[in-house]
Amino acid sequence: MELKLVQVENPDALNIILGQSHFIKTVEDLHEAMVNAVPGIQFGLAFCEASGHTLIRHSGTAQDLEALAVRNAQRIGAGHSFFIVLRDAFPINVLPALRAVPEVCSITCATANPVQVVIAESDQGRGVLGVIDGASPSGVEDDEGIAWRKDLLRTFGYKA
C-alpha cells in the first residue's frame, strides 16, 4: 500500500463536499437532494463508480462546476467517492439532505478552505483516509474573537 496526498483543485475557493456512497444511482439521488434543499442552487457533482464500468458519473446545474467536480474526482480516484462543488451556497444548506440519501455512507469534508485528500492506494484501487482541511490553529480566541464570531453568524442569519 502507498499513501498519497492529493491537492483539491479549487481556484475560486468555492465550497466543496467530499463523501462516500455505494450505488450507481448516487448521482441522481444527490442531484435531487441538492436541488430540493436549495432551489436554484448552482453545483456540480461527480461520483467514482467502484465496480462494473468503473466510470466517473456526473451531473449538476452549472457546467463549469460539473467539470471541476469531475477533474477532482479524477485526481482523487477512490471507489465510491463523490465530490460536489457549490457556488453561492454553503454546505450547511445541503448537508442534512445529503446525509438523508440512503446510499450515502459518510461525509469526509465540507469546506471552502484549501484541501488535501489523504489517499491509500493498493493493487485493488484507492481509498480516502481523510483530509487536511485548511491550516492548523494559530491560537485560542479571546473575547474579541468570540464577539466577531457571533456577529458573523448573525450576519449570515444563523443566530438571532
Convert the pLDDT of each residue in 20-73 to its tens digit. Answer: 999 889 999 999 999 999 999 999 999 999 999 999 999 999 999 999 999 999
Parse the chain into domains and list their residue ranges: 2-155
Beta carbons of 84 and 45 less than 8 angstroms apart = yes
**Strand partners of residue 87:** 42
pLDDT for res 72: 98
**Per-residue pLDDT tens for 4-23?**
999 999 999 999 999 999 98
Start-to-end CA span in the chain (Å): 50
The answer to pTM > 0.95 is no
> Looking at the domain covering 2-155, what would its CATH class be?
alpha beta
